[in-house]
Amino acid sequence: MRFGYFDNVRKEYVITRPDTPREWTNYLGSLEYGAIITNNAQGYSFVKSGASGRILRGRFNVPPTTAPGRYIYLKDMENGDYWSSSWLPVKKDLSKYESICRHGILYTIIASKYDGIETETLYYVPLNELYEVWAIKVRNNSGRKRKISLFSYAEFTNEPNETQDLVNMQYTLFISRTYYKDNLIIQTINENYSEIGKVIPQEEGISGRRFNRFFGVIGEKVVSYDGDRDKFIGSYRDYSNPIAVERGMCGNSLNYGKNSCAGTQVILDLEPGEEKEVIYVLGQGAEATGRRVMAKYEEKGRVEKEWNELKNYWQSKLEGFKVKTPDENFDTMVNIWNAYQCFITFFWSRAASMIYVGQRDGYGYRDTVQDIQGIIHLEPQEAKKRLRLMLAGQTSKGVALPLVFFDYEIKPNQGLSLDNPYYVKRTGYTEYRCDDHLWLYITIRQYIKETGDLAFLDEILPYSDYGEDTVYEHLRKGILFSLSKLGKHGLSFGLDADWNDTLRLGEEGETVFASMQLYLALKIFAEFAGRKGKKEDVEWAEKEAKKLDENIQKYAWEEDRFVRGFIGDEVIGSKKNTEASFWLNPQVWAVLSGVATEEQAKISMDNVEKILNTDYGAMIMYPPVRTWGFPVFRMILFNPGMKENAGIFCHPQGWLIKAETILGNGDRAFKYYQEVNPANMNDKAEIREAEPYVHCQFVEGKDSPYHGRAHVHWLTGTASSMMVAAVEGILGIKPDYDGIVIDPCVPSHWKEFYIEKVFRGKKLRIKVENPNGVQKGVKTINLNGKEIRSNFILEKDLKDDNEIIVIMG
Ligand code: GLC
């Protein structure tokens, strides 16, 4: 079953039926003002933090019909009938009501058609602004004169702290009130406290500050309003039938001691064929700010202009890498949706979506360092900025803080570590993870190779607790920390978690996955040391890598698989186990890190296909645990087939694909890509349920009765791992220190494809020909008419604009 289609020309996903299996969402705004919007205009908004800057209320995990939204109701003032400009909340009969939602890059357009009246509402946050715009055009196509009222509805939080707003009623209901004057509703919070921005010390979690919000209407005179939610909705009614709309007039109420909202009414007299526009603006700020913002929209065409600026800004960011291959769904993801998702994940880490409530007030370390990988090829300078922040979140012991606050500043001697009670209290973390800092190595190498910025290694950055060092020394410290945490098999202790949050191995259990990562970190460090001419460091890192490799070979290889780890002497992921006997990550990371021999790689990766793969991707391990392993195996808490308990965790799918491309298996790599490409599920939305344009955290595995159903949309490491798999793995675009390697690994039926990439400011127009249908291997490269007999192009041979023909064979 399908609910929409991809419009790649406009870079939009078009939802043609509003009754999608779940709320199909999009993002608006920036790091300063963020918002989430569904195909039915629901969702919430916040300034800087979803946890402590919430403006529009979201009600989580409720049936969508009971959630607030950015609602605009329409009422025919002659016959009394009413509907909404999005299908929800009024939910008119779909045989009479049409709704088309276009989710674009940081904007959403929702169009409706009902009883001869057409509406089109554009929702966006203008570039560099702290407010959102809802611009609605109403057109009379009925052939007769119409009198239509528009009622806006926005539900404010009473307190910017999300949890307090929803649970601490005895406090939050009594701090907020609303005012109305000349088309503008103002909400105040803690208004008696005159010093805006200054905090009155309060109970835990309460903002204790003065805030103002505004909601302004431009284009028509407001004839009635409600600032009190219950007066707009009415007793024992809901969003689908507010009394204000039913009556045809708001109650001119103001909130004092209940819930604040912005309900407004304007009346449009529409001649046949006539169209009118009303613009609503909503944001943080007092009356003066509201008036200033409203005044801007008196200018004709302002919305159109801002929307174009927004589109140009974001769409041009995606232009840095484009492909045209024989597979349209692959192109759609690489060119548009996966790239966009990488930016959103990069922005919001795991903070705000319809699943992540927005309470997480910072960047999870490992997640963020991996998220950076998804945008390096498009926005290397932003990647560098975030890398700096994350390096400054590494403690002087080399291990990383599990969470780096959104408001964290890069400055020395802040004393932040798990020894600091403030940090522990604010985050709830009491133990370090063994892998967090290990993600830095691959990400920094990818950044340096993309940009050539080897000098980054010499930049001095602070540690989160005390002292500072060059990036290079930060990396050495990270390795030293890991080497100080090896167990009796000489492998890395699992500590609070390795990548797998549900594996709690502590300082008794060892992890093979993180040991492989450490091996790779050592190899990368040796590479950096070599580039810097530090021979002793090269030798040291190589020696440690060799020891680790020997231990992995000695203890972790078992006939046809790499095991997952050890709990004391007990083996995790052994053939002898009846549960969780085969795991995806150690097989894949053995290849990615270079630990696996050719023979081991062949046998174990064949087993991945045999034991773990399904029509919807490869399960994280199999069989699920039902009886064994607790308290180390926290995944036992999940139903079989869910998440880390034999679910198809999507994040590792990108690693799996990349590993297969390293081995030269283009057909298999692409098959895996196809299995998890959400766009391929466009016609099977009833199975996948989640949006066909975004990757999810996991898909239910074979042991679930809902095998194939996807969960936890948007904010997931899958975005970056799939991007890297597509760009570096399948397309084989691999920047290197002194140039760029082009080494595709594609399905053998791909005969020709095109790639456009900006590399260090230079344009590469690449045509790849595959006349003999091979999966990997480059015979020649022709660069601007000159033949190169390898797959490597030196940067110094590049012009500003380059024609490159790659012949595989
Ligand atoms: C979630 C977490 C991520 C973790 C993964 C596997 O996606 O955000 O940090 O690596 O689960 O447990």
3-state secondary structure 217-244: EECCCCCEEEEEHHHHHCCCCCCCCCHH
Is position 501 annotated as part of the catalytic site? Answer: yes
Mutate-to-test residue for ligand 1 from 356, 360, 651, highest number of ligand atoms within 8 A of CB? 651
Cβ atoms 416, 403 nearer than 8 A: no
Identify the DSSP state of 801: E
Say which amino acid occupies 11.
K
Of the candidates 548, 610, 612, 624, the one whose C-alpha atom is nearest the C-alpha of residue 585 is 612
Give the position, in ligand 1's atom list, of the atom nearest the Cα of 712. 7
- Answer yes or no: is pLDDT of 411 > 90: yes
Q: What is the largest CA-CA distance in the chain?
A: 86
User: What does the pLDDT read at residue 202?
Assistant: 59
Task: Give the pLDDT band (50/70/90) at residue 210.
Answer: confident
Check residue 154 and give its pLDDT: 98
Rounded to whole angstroms, the Cα distance separating 684 from 682 reads: 6
Q: Which two tokens stand for residue 236?
A: 């024992």
Range with the poorest average pLDDT among 195-209, 234-248, 710-724:
195-209
Mean pLDDT value across residues 433-440: 98
CB 360 less than 6 A from any atom of ligand 1: no
As given in the structure block, the two tokens for residue 790 are 């390898």
- Ligand 1 pocket test, pick from 345, 367, 433 with the greatest ligand atom count within 8 Å of Cβ, gives 367
Q: Can you tell me which atom of ligand 1 is nearest the CA of 716?
A: 7
At residue 798, the pLDDT reads 98
586 has a pLDDT exceeding 70: yes
Convert the pLDDT of each residue in 665-684 to its tens digit. 999 999 999 999 999 999 99
* Residue 386 predicted with pLDDT over 70: yes
The model's pTM is: 0.97
Counting from 1 in the atom list of ligand 1, the atom nearest the Cα of 501 is 12
Q: Is 338 in the pocket of ligand 1 (CB under 6 A)?
A: no
Q: Which atom of ligand 1 is nearest to the CA of 651?
A: 7
Q: How far is the CA of 517 from the centre of ligand 1 (A)?
A: 16
Spacing, Cα 366 to ligand 1 middle (Å): 8
Ligand 1 centroid–CA 651 distance in Å is 8
The label of the residue with tokens 């001095």 reads 460
Tell which one of 500, 501, 503 to mutate to probe ligand 1, the residue whose CB is within 8 A of the most ligand atoms: 501
Contacts of 210 by beta carbon, 8 Å cutoff, 6+ apart: 188, 189, 190, 191, 193, 194, 195, 196, 197, 198
In the predicted model, what is the mean pLDDT of residues 381-402? 98
The minimum-distance atom of ligand 1 relative to the CA of 364 is 9
- pLDDT tens for 525-565 read 999 999 999 999 999 999 999 999 999 999 999 999 999 99
Q: Is the CB of 698 under 6 A from ligand 1?
A: no
Query: Cis link prior to 631 (omega < 30° from 0)?
Result: yes
Residue 119 Cβ inside 6 Å of ligand 1? The answer reads no
User: What's the mean pLDDT in 593-606?
Assistant: 98
Distances in whole angstroms, Cα of residue 578 to Cα of each of 431, 581, 611, 613, 635? 31, 6, 14, 19, 16
Render pLDDT for 305-361 as a digit per residue (tens, 0 to 9). Answer: 999 999 999 999 999 999 999 999 999 999 999 999 999 999 999 999 999 998 888
Q: Buried b vs exposed e over 649-664: b needs ≥16 C-beta within 10 Å? A: bbbbbbbbbbbbbbbe
* pLDDT of amino acid 360: 84
For residue range 58-84, what is the model confidence (pLDDT) as tens digits? 999 999 999 999 999 999 999 999 999
The residue-averaged pLDDT of 287-306 equals 97
* pLDDT number for residue 806: 98
Please state the rounded mean pLDDT for residues 701-718. Answer: 98
**C-alpha 436 to ligand 1 mean position (Å):** 11
CA 741, CA 759: separation in Å to the nearest integer?
12
Answer yes or no: is the C-beta of 517 below 6 A from any ligand 1 atom: no
Residue 787: CB atoms within 10 Å: 10
Tokens of 439: 């993600």
pLDDT classification of 193: cutoffs 50, 70, 90:
confident
Regarding the beta carbon of 367 and ligand 1, being less than 6 Å apart is answered yes
- Of ligand 1's listed atoms, the one at least distance from the Cα of 644 is 12
Instruction: Using the predicted structure, report yes or no on whether residue 196 has a pLDDT greater than 70.
Output: no
Where residue 398 falls (left for φ over 0; alpha for ψ -120 to 50; beta otherwise) is left
Q: Note the pLDDT of residue 361.
A: 80
Ligand 1 contact via 647 beta carbon (within 6 Å): no
Cis peptide leading into residue 462 (ω within 30°): no
C-beta of 711 in contact with ligand 1 (< 6 A) = no
Q: Bigger pLDDT: 5 or 199?
A: 5
Whether the per-residue pLDDT at 630 is higher than 90: the answer is: no
Q: What is the pLDDT of residues 130-183, one digit of tens each?
A: 999 999 999 999 999 999 999 999 999 999 999 999 999 999 999 999 999 999
DSSP string, 497-512: -SS-TTB--EEEEEEH
CA 223 to the chain's CA centroid: 41
- As a whole number, the mean pLDDT across the chain is 96
User: Is a pLDDT exceeding 70 seen at residue 205?
Assistant: no
Helix (H, G, I), strand (E, B) or coil at 328: helix
Report the candidate in 301, 238, 224, 274 with the shortest Cα–Cα distance to residue 71.
238
Ligand 1: nearest atom to the Cα of 717: 7
- Any ligand 1 atom below 6 A from CB of 356: no
Residue 746 has pLDDT above 70, yes or no: yes
- How much is the pLDDT for 359? 85
d(CA 656, CA 726): 11
Per-residue pLDDT at 197:
60
Please state, in angstroms and as integers, the Cα–Cα distance from residue 394 to each residue in 412, 465, 467, 659, 793, following that order: 12, 8, 11, 29, 36
Residue 206 in this model has a pLDDT that exceeds 80: no
CA quadruple 392, 395, 400, 405: dihedral sign: negative
Which two tokens mark 645?
């308990």
Rounded to the nearest whole angstrom, what is the distance from the C-alpha of residue 439 to the centroid of ligand 1?
A: 13
Among 19, 115, 501, 736, the one annotated catalytic: 501
Q: Which pLDDT score is estimated for 20?
A: 98
Residue 488: what pLDDT? 96
> Which residue's CA is minimally distant from atom 8 of ligand 1?
367
pLDDT (mean) for 498-516:
97
For 760-788, the DSSP string reads: TTEEEEEEEE-TT--SB-EEEEEETTEEE
Is the pLDDT at 304 greater than 80, yes or no?
yes
Candidates 668, 639, 647, 622; CA nearest to 716 is: 647
CB under 8 Å to 204, separation ≥6 — which residues?
A: none
Q: Which of 348, 499, 621 to mutate to test the pocket of ligand 1 (most atoms within 8 A of CB)?
A: 499
